[in-house]
Amino acid sequence: MAHAKSAIKRNRQSKVLNERNRADRSLFRNALKRVEVAVAEGNAETAQAELKTTLKIVGVAERKGLIHQKKAARHSSRLTRKVAALAAGGTANDAE
């Protein structure tokens, strides 16, 4: 248990930040899954719409420091390729 005033405040702050990061990470992961599901179902319109919102969420997660810049780029690139392959009439496996 912290005794110093600053340590008590730091514990309080870290709990709040931990909850916020957990919520943001969950939002990030769920957005990725929504695009993956739309691609797996072969629904190009839904995949396109979900991709647009997911790319925004990925960018926010990167700016907040939740994920690394290269991880954000990797996810964005892979999802975009899958959706593009689906829109071109191929399958999701064509992009891999």
Domains annotated on the chain, with CATH: 5-95 (1.20.58.110)
State which amino acid sits at residue 89: G
What local confidence, expressed as pLDDT, does residue 1 receive?
82
Tens-digit pLDDT profile for residues 7-42: 999 999 999 999 999 999 999 999 999 999 999 999
Q: Is the dihedral of CA 57, 60, 64, 70 positive or negative?
A: positive
pTM: 0.82
CA distance 40 to 6: 50
What local confidence, expressed as pLDDT, does residue 89 receive?
82
Tens-digit pLDDT profile for residues 50-89: 999 999 999 999 999 999 999 999 999 999 999 999 999 8
Provide the pLDDT confidence category of residue 6 given band limits of 50, 70 and 90: very high
CA distances from 33 to 6, 26, 54, 65, 93 (A): 40, 11, 10, 21, 16
**pLDDT greater than 60 at residue 95:** no
